[in-house]
Amino acid sequence: MSSLFKYDKDREAASAAKVRALEALLIKKGVLGSDSVDAVLRHFETVAGPFNGARIVARAWVDAEYKARLLEDTPKAIAELQFPGMTGAEGEHMKAVANSATVHNLIICTLCLCYPWPVLGLPPYWYKDPVFRSRGVREPCAVLREFGVTIPEGKEVKVWDSSAQIRWFVIPERPAHSEHLNEEQLAALVTPEAMMGVALVPSPPPCLRHPNVYSIRRICRDADVRATRFATA
């Protein structure tokens, strides 16, 4: 299946020309404005994205009462943070589930690609991979092992298949040695994969465990990494 991700140049050029022709025709015929598609893409760079989920997770880590409210009524608890667009497209009904010492959660959409846009943005390609969607419900632990996550024996694994209106996301476990980090620094550790349940949040490296050296520069660098992922270049 992985060979499906590789195409010759010509195939891409054909699709690129076709989509450009389609957009041009739809603009000419009044179905789209020339600024419509860009407005969509800007939304996923500025309003909806994993930067929201990371901040929600960090808040849950530093505030146990907030975490309880988040699990009890996810939209209401998210609304407390006053991020824009949190009940928007593909986030009309979101629910958080929490990893713990006894439970590991994994989100999946075996039918298509349901995903909580406001808090996680758009899904990475591997999430669309039919192989993940097939195996994730049949052998989640084996898949997680391939992702580098070993589930200890006896830990319960919960797989959440988004097949109706609810869009799930995972509150990962707070890593060890992160006691000194503030909320913003914690948010910088949280990846989209951790909020989908296929990665754990690693402890900060020893040199960064003290708040004075865990600088804003590092957070900016992580934000760059996320922005790069949205880009294709």
**Which residues from 85-114 bind other proteins, rule CB under 8 A?**
85, 87-93, 110-113
Q: Which of 30, 64, 206, 212 binds other proteins (CB under 8 A)?
A: 30
DSSP state of 56: H
Footprint (CB under 8 A) of other proteins, residues 107-166: 110-113, 121-126, 128-143, 146-147, 154-166
According to the binding rule CB under 8 A, does residue 224 interact with other proteins?
Answer: no
Footprint (CB under 8 A) of other proteins, residues 188-207: 193, 198
Beta bridge partners of 105: 158
Handedness of CA 43, 46, 86, 96 (dihedral sign): positive
x/- mask, other proteins, residues 63-82, rule CB under 8 A, reads --------------------
- The set of residues, in sequence order, having a beta carbon less than 8 Å from that of 188 and lying 6+ positions away, is 54, 218, 219, 222, 223
Comparing CB distances to other proteins, the nearer of 128 and 180 is: 128
107 alpha-carbon distance from chain centroid? 10
Q: Which of 17, 176, 216, 227 binds other proteins (CB under 8 A)?
A: 17
CA angle 110/112/116 to nearest 5° reads 95
Comparing CB distances to other proteins, the nearer of 84 and 205 is: 84
Pairing label, strands 167-171, 94-98 = parallel
